[in-house]
């Protein structure tokens, strides 16, 4: 990933979102004065979106691909296949002392736990939305507690949205609609706390990005690794032209 002068360049679209007195401001990161890539230590937390080694058939997993994107950085995998949002608190207990950036992708397994609700009989669309909304509220409370613990570490951090299933997957439209409620909880938590946001819904948008309906393939993992590297480059402490509670947004 080339660095020219003091600006970080990547294939992803990278924005700064900042709350101002006049509302919300979006700024292309290329317009900001950012530090060179430098060196750091990125720690990946969460579930099999990062811990995808078992699903790529011997190809590089996300953390190996991230090391290729950030050759002068340390990259540590604490994410655990199958973990839910509450599990990130356990993962944080193993956080290396020299960590500089934290990235979390979690929530998909929480949403899977609520999947039986999609088969529940209701008398109206409104009642169905109420059922799903109650589930999303419970998820939001757990997610906010997790992100508060993450932010308490005092390091730049980013969270990922829950991506959609492959476009060709049967039932994709229903799953995509249901996940909107959970992703709303994630984006609200991130923006209200000044955390970065990596939108996997836009990054992993092709069938080839998935090893199966849930885990990323090597192709998708490469896109995810590139997005994480964009965040790490944009969130350098010396690049703090951003106001307090500014969120860096990475999309495809």
pLDDT tens digit string along 77-96?
A: 999 999 999 999 999 999 99
Q: How far is CA 193 from the centre of its chain?
A: 14
Phi, then psi, of 192 in degrees rounded to 5: -75, -15
Cα 236 to its chain centre, rounded Å, is 18
Query: Does 167 reside within a domain?
Result: yes
CATH number at residue 204: 3.40.50.1110
Q: Is residue 14 part of a domain?
A: no
Percentage of the chain beyond pLDDT 70 is 78
DSSP structural state of residue 54:
G
pLDDT in tens, 218-227: 999 999 999 9
HEC-encoded secondary structure of 67-127: HHHCCCCEEEECCCCCCCCCHHHHHHCCCCCCCCEEEEECCHHHHHHCHHHHHCCCCCHHH
160 domain residue, yes or no: yes
What torsion do the CA atoms of 38, 41, 43, 49 make, to the nearest 10 degrees?
Answer: 40
Neighbours of 250 (CB within 10 A): 27
Mean pLDDT of the chain: 82
Write down the pTM of the prediction.
0.82
Determine the Cα–Cα distance for residues 80 and 186; give it in Å rounded to an integer.
Answer: 19
Would you say residue 203 lies in a domain? yes
pLDDT in tens, the chain (252 residues): 333 333 334 445 555 444 444 444 444 444 333 334 568 999 999 999 999 999 999 999 999 999 999 999 999 999 999 999 999 999 999 999 999 999 999 999 998 887 778 777 888 988 888 888 888 899 999 999 999 999 999 999 999 999 988 999 888 888 888 888 999 999 999 999 999 999 999 999 999 999 999 999 999 999 999 999 988 886 554 444 444 545 677 766
Residue 10 lies in a domain: no
Q: Which domain holds residue 211?
A: 35-240
Is the residue at 11 inside a domain? Answer: no
Domain count, the chain: 1
pLDDT digits (tens, 9 = 90+) for 2-44: 333 333 344 455 554 444 444 444 444 443 333 345 689 999 9
Give Cα separations from 83 to 53, 55, 111, 123, 177 (angstroms). 15, 16, 12, 34, 23
Domain membership flag for residue 99: yes
The answer for residues whose C-beta is within 8 angstroms of residue 72's C-beta and 6 or more apart is 37, 38, 39
Asked, for residue 12, whether it belongs to a domain, the answer is no
């Amino acid at each position: 990933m080339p660095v020219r002068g003091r600006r970080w360049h990547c294939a992803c679209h990278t924005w700064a979102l900042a709350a101002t007195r006049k509302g919300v401001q979006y700024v292309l990161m290329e317009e900001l004065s950012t530090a060179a890539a430098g060196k750091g230590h990125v720690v990946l937390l969460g579930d099999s979106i990062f811990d995808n080694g078992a699903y790529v058939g011997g190809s590089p997993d996300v953390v190996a691909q991230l090391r290729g994107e950030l050759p002068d950085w340390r990259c540590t995998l604490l994410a655990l296949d199958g973990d839910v949002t509450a599990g990130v608190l356990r993962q944080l207990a193993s956080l290396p002392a020299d960590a500089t950036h934290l990235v979390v992708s979690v929530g998909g397994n929480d949403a899977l736990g609520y999947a039986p609700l999609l088969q529940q009989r209701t008398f109206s669309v409104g009642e169905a939305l109420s059922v799903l909304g109650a589930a999303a509220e419970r998820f939001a409370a757990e997610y906010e507690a997790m992100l508060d613990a993450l932010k308490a570490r005092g390091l730049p951090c980013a969270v990922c949205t829950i991506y959609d299933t492959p476009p060709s997957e049967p039932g994709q439209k229903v799953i995509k609609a249901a996940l909107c409620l959970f992703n709303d909880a994630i984006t609200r938590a991130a923006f209200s706390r000044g955390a970065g946001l990596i939108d996997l819904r836009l990054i992993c948008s092709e069938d080839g990005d998935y090893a199966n309906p849930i885990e990323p393939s090597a192709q998708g993992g490469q896109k995810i690794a590139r997005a994480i590297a964009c965040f790490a480059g944009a969130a350098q402490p010396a690049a703090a032209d951003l106001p307090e509670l500014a969120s860096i947004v990475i999309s495809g």
